[in-house]
A = this chain, B = another copy of it.
Protein backbone atom coordinates (compact mmCIF):
# COMPACT_ATOMS: atom_id res chain seq x y z
CA UNK A 1 0.00 0.00 0.00
CA UNK A 2 1.44 3.26 -1.05
CA UNK A 3 0.61 6.83 -1.68
CA UNK A 4 -2.43 8.61 -0.49
CA UNK A 5 -4.11 5.38 0.51
CA UNK A 6 -1.44 4.58 3.01
CA UNK A 7 -1.79 7.98 4.53
CA UNK A 8 -5.56 7.63 4.68
CA UNK A 9 -5.38 4.28 6.40
CA UNK A 10 -2.84 5.52 8.87
CA UNK A 11 -5.18 8.34 9.82
CA UNK A 12 -8.30 6.24 9.51
CA UNK A 13 -10.01 8.64 7.16
CA UNK A 14 -10.92 8.26 3.51
CA UNK A 15 -8.55 9.09 0.70
CA UNK A 16 -10.99 11.71 -0.46
CA UNK A 17 -10.65 13.56 2.79
CA UNK A 18 -6.90 13.36 2.68
CA UNK A 19 -6.85 14.77 -0.82
CA UNK A 20 -9.15 17.61 0.12
CA UNK A 21 -7.17 18.40 3.21
CA UNK A 22 -3.91 18.50 1.30
CA UNK A 23 -5.27 20.61 -1.49
CA UNK A 24 -6.82 23.22 0.75
CA UNK A 25 -10.37 22.44 -0.20
CA UNK A 26 -12.97 24.09 2.05
CA UNK A 27 -15.14 21.21 3.18
CA UNK A 28 -12.83 19.62 5.68
CA UNK A 29 -12.63 20.10 9.40
CA UNK A 30 -9.70 22.23 10.42
CA UNK A 31 -8.68 19.76 13.07
CA UNK A 32 -8.72 16.96 10.52
CA UNK A 33 -6.71 19.05 8.09
CA UNK A 34 -4.11 19.66 10.74
CA UNK A 35 -3.77 15.96 11.44
CA UNK A 36 -3.48 15.16 7.75
CA UNK A 37 -0.86 17.78 7.12
CA UNK A 38 1.07 16.61 10.11
CA UNK A 39 0.97 12.97 9.12
CA UNK A 40 1.91 13.78 5.52
CA UNK A 41 4.91 15.66 6.80
CA UNK A 42 5.87 12.89 9.16
CA UNK A 43 5.52 10.09 6.64
CA UNK A 44 7.10 12.19 3.92
CA UNK A 45 4.12 11.82 1.66
CA UNK A 46 4.15 13.68 -1.62
CA UNK A 47 1.47 13.24 -4.23
CA UNK A 48 2.37 11.15 -7.23
CA UNK A 49 2.44 13.52 -10.16
CA UNK A 50 1.47 10.99 -12.75
CA UNK A 51 -1.77 10.23 -11.00
CA UNK A 52 -2.41 13.86 -10.37
CA UNK A 53 -1.63 14.92 -13.91
CA UNK A 54 -3.74 12.15 -15.33
CA UNK A 55 -6.75 13.21 -13.35
CA UNK A 56 -6.30 16.95 -13.69
CA UNK A 57 -5.14 17.01 -17.26
CA UNK A 58 -2.34 19.40 -16.38
CA UNK A 59 1.18 18.95 -15.15
CA UNK A 60 2.18 22.27 -13.66
CA UNK A 61 5.32 22.34 -15.77
CA UNK A 62 6.42 24.86 -18.35
CA UNK A 63 8.96 23.85 -20.95
CA UNK A 64 11.62 26.03 -22.49
CA UNK A 65 12.82 24.50 -25.68
CA UNK A 66 16.38 25.19 -26.71
CA UNK A 67 18.98 23.66 -28.94
CA UNK A 68 22.15 22.27 -27.48
CA UNK A 69 25.18 23.66 -29.25
CA UNK A 70 25.47 27.39 -29.38
CA UNK A 71 26.54 27.40 -32.99
CA UNK A 72 22.88 27.11 -33.71
CA UNK A 73 21.48 29.92 -31.67
CA UNK A 74 24.39 32.29 -31.55
CA UNK A 75 23.63 32.90 -27.91
CA UNK A 76 25.87 31.94 -25.06
CA UNK A 77 24.72 29.78 -22.19
CA UNK A 78 24.63 32.72 -19.88
CA UNK A 79 22.09 34.36 -22.10
CA UNK A 80 19.56 31.67 -21.37
CA UNK A 81 20.56 31.23 -17.78
CA UNK A 82 19.67 34.81 -17.05
CA UNK A 83 16.42 34.59 -18.95
CA UNK A 84 15.49 31.47 -17.01
CA UNK A 85 15.88 33.33 -13.78
CA UNK A 86 13.28 35.85 -14.82
CA UNK A 87 10.90 33.22 -16.12
CA UNK A 88 11.08 31.28 -12.92
CA UNK A 89 10.48 34.29 -10.75
CA UNK A 90 7.06 34.65 -12.34
CA UNK A 91 6.20 30.98 -12.61
CA UNK A 92 7.00 30.36 -8.96
CA UNK A 93 4.10 32.60 -8.01
CA UNK A 94 1.76 30.07 -9.55
CA UNK A 95 3.55 26.97 -8.36
CA UNK A 96 4.65 26.22 -11.88
CA UNK A 97 8.06 24.79 -12.57
CA UNK A 98 10.34 25.39 -15.48
CA UNK A 99 12.34 22.75 -17.26
CA UNK A 100 14.54 23.11 -20.29
CA UNK A 101 13.76 20.81 -23.18
CA UNK A 102 17.08 20.14 -24.80
CA UNK A 103 17.00 19.44 -28.47
CA UNK A 104 20.20 17.72 -29.46
CA UNK A 105 22.05 19.18 -32.38
CA UNK A 106 21.63 15.82 -34.07
CA UNK A 107 17.86 15.88 -34.01
CA UNK A 108 15.37 17.78 -36.09
CA UNK A 109 13.74 20.44 -33.90
CA UNK A 110 10.31 19.80 -35.36
CA UNK A 111 10.45 16.10 -34.59
CA UNK A 112 11.82 16.82 -31.18
CA UNK A 113 8.99 19.15 -30.33
CA UNK A 114 6.44 16.60 -31.41
CA UNK A 115 7.99 14.04 -29.13
CA UNK A 116 7.96 16.42 -26.21
CA UNK A 117 4.39 17.40 -26.78
CA UNK A 118 3.49 13.74 -26.94
CA UNK A 119 5.26 13.21 -23.64
CA UNK A 120 2.88 15.82 -22.43
CA UNK A 121 4.76 17.08 -19.46
CA UNK A 122 4.36 20.73 -20.19
CA UNK A 123 1.23 22.80 -19.90
CA UNK A 124 2.87 25.57 -21.84
CA UNK A 125 5.97 26.14 -23.91
CA UNK A 126 8.53 28.78 -24.63
CA UNK A 127 10.28 28.38 -27.95
CA UNK A 128 13.63 29.88 -28.82
CA UNK A 129 15.80 29.83 -31.93
CA UNK A 130 12.91 30.68 -34.19
CA UNK A 131 13.54 30.03 -37.83
CA UNK A 132 12.49 32.00 -40.86
CA UNK A 133 9.87 29.35 -41.50
CA UNK A 134 9.08 27.47 -38.36
CA UNK A 135 6.62 24.57 -38.55
CA UNK A 136 6.64 24.28 -34.79
CA UNK A 137 4.29 27.24 -34.55
CA UNK A 138 1.65 25.60 -36.68
CA UNK A 139 2.02 22.32 -34.88
CA UNK A 140 1.43 23.85 -31.48
CA UNK A 141 -1.42 25.97 -32.69
CA UNK A 142 -3.07 22.93 -34.21
CA UNK A 143 -2.73 21.05 -30.95
CA UNK A 144 -3.94 24.03 -28.98
CA UNK A 145 -0.91 24.12 -26.74
CA UNK A 146 -0.25 27.51 -25.19
CA UNK A 147 3.12 28.89 -26.17
CA UNK A 148 5.16 32.00 -26.64
CA UNK A 149 8.22 32.42 -28.77
CA UNK A 150 11.44 34.24 -28.17
CA UNK A 151 11.86 35.51 -31.69
CA UNK A 152 9.57 36.03 -34.63
CA UNK A 153 9.10 34.03 -37.75
CA UNK A 154 7.28 34.35 -41.03
CA UNK A 155 5.20 31.52 -39.69
CA UNK A 156 3.08 33.66 -37.41
CA UNK A 157 -0.02 31.96 -36.08
CA UNK A 158 -0.99 34.83 -33.86
CA UNK A 159 0.79 33.46 -30.82
CA UNK A 160 2.43 35.89 -28.45
CA UNK A 161 6.08 36.58 -29.09
CA UNK A 162 8.89 38.73 -27.84
CA UNK A 163 11.82 39.49 -30.04
CA UNK A 164 14.92 41.53 -29.51
CA UNK A 165 14.66 44.81 -31.32
CA UNK A 166 17.08 44.07 -34.11
CA UNK A 167 15.48 46.76 -36.19
CA UNK A 168 16.35 49.36 -33.60
CA UNK A 169 19.81 47.94 -33.34
CA UNK A 170 20.25 48.13 -37.09
CA UNK A 171 19.04 51.73 -37.25
CA UNK A 172 21.17 52.96 -34.42
CA UNK A 173 24.29 51.10 -35.46
CA UNK A 174 24.15 52.32 -39.02
CA UNK A 175 23.38 55.89 -38.01
CA UNK A 176 26.18 55.95 -35.50
CA UNK A 177 28.73 54.61 -37.95
CA UNK A 178 27.66 56.73 -40.87
CA UNK A 179 27.75 59.86 -38.74
CA UNK A 180 31.23 58.87 -37.64
CA UNK A 181 32.23 58.98 -41.28
CA UNK A 182 32.09 55.35 -42.22
CA UNK A 183 30.94 54.56 -45.73
CA UNK A 184 32.05 50.98 -46.08
CA UNK A 185 30.21 49.03 -43.40
CA UNK A 186 30.35 45.28 -43.10
CA UNK A 187 27.61 43.13 -41.64
CA UNK A 188 28.29 39.80 -40.04
CA UNK A 189 25.36 37.54 -40.58
CA UNK A 190 25.61 34.06 -39.14
CA UNK A 191 23.76 32.22 -41.80
CA UNK A 192 21.32 29.49 -41.13
CA UNK A 193 17.61 29.28 -40.88
CA UNK A 194 17.28 31.63 -37.96
CA UNK A 195 14.95 34.49 -38.65
CA UNK A 196 16.85 37.21 -36.89
CA UNK A 197 19.51 37.52 -39.55
CA UNK A 198 16.99 38.33 -42.25
CA UNK A 199 15.25 40.91 -40.11
CA UNK A 200 18.50 42.52 -39.20
CA UNK A 201 20.04 42.72 -42.64
CA UNK A 202 16.88 44.03 -44.22
CA UNK A 203 16.64 46.86 -41.75
CA UNK A 204 20.32 47.68 -42.19
CA UNK A 205 19.69 47.96 -45.88
CA UNK A 206 16.89 50.43 -45.26
CA UNK A 207 18.92 52.43 -42.79
CA UNK A 208 21.79 52.72 -45.20
CA UNK A 209 19.44 53.78 -47.96
CA UNK A 210 18.26 56.66 -45.82
CA UNK A 211 21.79 57.99 -46.06
CA UNK A 212 21.94 57.35 -49.76
CA UNK A 213 24.11 54.30 -49.34
CA UNK A 214 23.46 50.89 -50.73
CA UNK A 215 24.25 47.64 -49.05
CA UNK A 216 26.67 45.75 -51.20
CA UNK A 217 26.34 41.99 -51.13
CA UNK A 218 30.02 41.43 -50.49
CA UNK A 219 29.82 43.53 -47.40
CA UNK A 220 27.62 40.85 -45.88
CA UNK A 221 29.83 38.29 -44.21
CA UNK A 222 28.04 35.03 -43.81
CA UNK A 223 29.54 32.68 -41.27
CA UNK A 224 28.73 30.43 -38.35
CA UNK A 225 27.87 32.02 -35.01
CA UNK A 226 30.96 30.77 -33.22
CA UNK A 227 34.36 32.05 -32.28
CA UNK A 228 35.79 30.39 -35.32
CA UNK A 229 33.17 32.07 -37.44
CA UNK A 230 34.27 35.45 -36.17
CA UNK A 231 37.87 34.55 -36.75
CA UNK A 232 37.23 33.73 -40.37
CA UNK A 233 35.44 37.00 -40.94
CA UNK A 234 38.57 38.89 -40.02
CA UNK A 235 40.45 36.94 -42.64
CA UNK A 236 37.82 37.56 -45.27
CA UNK A 237 37.81 41.27 -44.71
CA UNK A 238 41.26 41.67 -46.13
CA UNK A 239 40.46 39.80 -49.29
CA UNK A 240 37.65 41.92 -50.62
CA UNK A 241 37.81 44.90 -52.85
CA UNK A 242 36.81 47.82 -50.67
CA UNK A 243 37.31 46.50 -47.16
CA UNK A 244 34.87 47.74 -44.57
CA UNK A 245 36.04 50.32 -42.05
CA UNK A 246 33.35 49.22 -39.63
CA UNK A 247 31.63 45.99 -38.73
CA UNK A 248 28.29 45.22 -37.12
CA UNK A 249 27.74 41.89 -35.40
CA UNK A 250 24.27 40.69 -34.67
CA UNK A 251 25.46 37.83 -32.43
CA UNK A 252 27.21 37.63 -29.12
CA UNK A 253 29.33 34.66 -29.87
CA UNK A 254 31.58 35.91 -32.61
CA UNK A 255 33.46 38.68 -31.00
CA UNK A 256 36.43 36.98 -29.35
CA UNK A 257 37.29 35.12 -32.51
CA UNK A 258 36.86 38.24 -34.55
CA UNK A 259 39.19 40.19 -32.29
CA UNK A 260 41.86 37.56 -32.59
CA UNK A 261 41.50 37.42 -36.31
CA UNK A 262 41.73 41.17 -36.64
CA UNK A 263 44.85 41.23 -34.56
CA UNK A 264 46.46 38.72 -36.84
CA UNK A 265 45.75 40.82 -39.89
CA UNK A 266 46.98 43.90 -38.11
CA UNK A 267 43.73 45.70 -37.40
CA UNK A 268 42.91 47.06 -33.98
CA UNK A 269 39.23 47.43 -33.10
CA UNK A 270 38.34 51.02 -32.36
CA UNK A 271 41.38 52.39 -34.12
CA UNK A 272 41.63 50.69 -37.49
CA UNK A 273 38.16 49.34 -37.65
CA UNK A 274 34.99 50.09 -35.71
CA UNK A 275 33.05 47.22 -34.19
CA UNK A 276 29.52 47.30 -32.89
CA UNK A 277 28.04 44.15 -31.47
CA UNK A 278 26.11 42.76 -28.57
CA UNK A 279 27.03 43.06 -24.94
CA UNK A 280 27.74 40.03 -22.84
CA UNK A 281 29.68 39.27 -19.69
CA UNK A 282 32.71 38.63 -21.85
CA UNK A 283 32.38 41.64 -24.07
CA UNK A 284 32.73 44.10 -21.25
CA UNK A 285 36.16 42.75 -20.41
CA UNK A 286 37.59 42.27 -23.83
CA UNK A 287 40.32 44.60 -24.82
CA UNK A 288 39.27 46.91 -26.30
CA UNK A 289 35.89 46.68 -24.65
CA UNK A 290 33.05 46.19 -27.04
CA UNK A 291 30.63 48.86 -28.08
CA UNK A 292 27.43 46.95 -28.18
CA UNK A 293 23.78 46.57 -27.46
CA UNK A 294 22.70 45.46 -24.05
CA UNK A 295 19.40 44.30 -22.68
CA UNK A 296 17.90 43.15 -19.43
CA UNK A 297 17.81 39.40 -19.76
CA UNK A 298 16.06 38.82 -16.51
CA UNK A 299 13.26 41.24 -17.37
CA UNK A 300 13.00 39.57 -20.72
CA UNK A 301 12.41 36.31 -18.90
CA UNK A 302 9.74 37.92 -16.77
CA UNK A 303 7.99 39.24 -19.85
CA UNK A 304 8.16 35.87 -21.54
CA UNK A 305 6.57 34.16 -18.58
CA UNK A 306 3.83 36.75 -18.34
CA UNK A 307 3.17 36.52 -22.03
CA UNK A 308 2.90 32.77 -21.84
CA UNK A 309 0.59 32.84 -18.85
CA UNK A 310 -1.67 35.27 -20.61
CA UNK A 311 -2.02 32.66 -23.33
CA UNK A 312 -2.98 29.93 -20.88
CA UNK A 313 -6.70 29.89 -20.14
CA UNK A 314 -6.18 29.03 -16.49
CA UNK A 315 -4.06 32.12 -15.89
CA UNK A 316 -5.08 34.53 -18.61
CA UNK A 317 -7.23 36.75 -16.47
CA UNK A 318 -4.32 37.43 -14.15
CA UNK A 319 -2.22 38.93 -16.93
CA UNK A 320 -4.63 40.96 -18.97
CA UNK A 321 -2.20 43.64 -19.96
CA UNK A 322 0.68 41.49 -21.13
CA UNK A 323 1.36 42.69 -24.68
CA UNK A 324 0.91 39.86 -27.12
CA UNK A 325 3.70 40.68 -29.49
CA UNK A 326 6.53 42.93 -28.52
CA UNK A 327 9.96 44.11 -29.56
CA UNK A 328 12.36 44.06 -26.67
CA UNK A 329 14.44 47.23 -26.49
CA UNK A 330 18.20 47.16 -26.42
CA UNK A 331 20.42 50.03 -25.45
CA UNK A 332 23.81 50.85 -26.82
CA UNK A 333 26.63 50.74 -24.33
CA UNK A 334 29.67 52.56 -25.58
CA UNK A 335 32.92 50.71 -25.36
CA UNK A 336 36.28 51.21 -26.92
CA UNK A 337 35.64 49.33 -30.11
CA UNK A 338 33.60 51.81 -32.06
Interface string of A58-71 (1 = CB under 8 A from B): 01110110001110
Please report the C-alpha to C-alpha distance between residue A88 and residue B46 in the assembled complex, in whole angstroms.
29
A246 sits at the interface (CB 8 A): no
Q: Which residue of B lies closest to A45 (CB)?
A: B118
A217 sits at the interface (CB 8 A): no
A281 sits at the interface (CB 8 A): yes
A221 sits at the interface (CB 8 A): no
Please report the C-alpha to C-alpha distance between residue A50 and residue B51 in the assembled complex, in whole angstroms.
7
Q: Is the CB of B70 within 8 A of A59?
A: no
Q: Is the CB of B285 within 8 A of A256?
A: yes
Stretch at the interface among A91-99, A145-153, A195-203, A311-319: A91-99
Q: Is the CB of B88 within 8 A of A102?
A: yes
**Contacting residues, chain B, for A92 (C-beta < 8 A):** 104, 107
Interface string of A80-97 (1 = CB under 8 A from B): 111011001100100001
Please report the C-alpha to C-alpha distance between residue A101 and residue B253 in the assembled complex, in whole angstroms.
25
Q: Is the CB of A50 within 8 A of B61?
A: no
A239 sits at the interface (CB 8 A): no
Please report the C-alpha to C-alpha distance between residue A121 and residue B101 in the assembled complex, in whole angstroms.
13
Q: Which residue of B lies closest to A230 (CB)?
A: B285
Q: Is the CB of A54 within 8 A of B48?
A: yes
Q: Is the CB of A226 within 8 A of B287?
A: no
Q: Is the CB of B286 within 8 A of A260?
A: yes
A157 sits at the interface (CB 8 A): no
Q: A49-B121, A50-B59 are in contact. Are A80 and B77 (CB under 8 A)?
A: yes
**Contacting residues, chain B, for A227 (C-beta < 8 A):** 281-282, 284-285
Interface string of A230-260 (1 = CB under 8 A from B): 1100000000000000000000010011011
Q: Interface centre among A63, A92, A287, by most B CB within 10 Å?
A: A287
Q: Is the CB of A100 within 8 A of B100?
A: yes
Q: Is the CB of B84 within 8 A of A120?
A: no
A79 sits at the interface (CB 8 A): yes
Please report the C-alpha to C-alpha distance between residue A259 and residue B70 in the assembled complex, in whole angstroms.
24
**Contacting residues, chain B, for A253 (C-beta < 8 A):** 77
**Contacting residues, chain B, for A282 (C-beta < 8 A):** 227, 256, 282
Please report the C-alpha to C-alpha distance between residue A104 and residue B302 in the assembled complex, in whole angstroms.
13
Residues of chain A having any CB pair with chain B under 8 Å? 46-51, 53-54, 59-61, 63-64, 68-70, 76-82, 84-85, 88-89, 92, 97-102, 104-107, 115-121, 226-228, 230-231, 253, 256-257, 259-260, 263, 281-282, 284-287, 289
For the complex of A and B, the 8 pairs showing the least CB-CB separation, nearest first, are A100-B100, A46-B118, A76-B77, A50-B54, A50-B53, A260-B285, A88-B104, A77-B77
Give me 6 A-to-B residue pairs in the complex whose CB atoms sit less than 8 angstroms apart, sorted by A's number. A46-B117, A59-B121, A63-B99, A69-B81, A77-B81, A92-B104
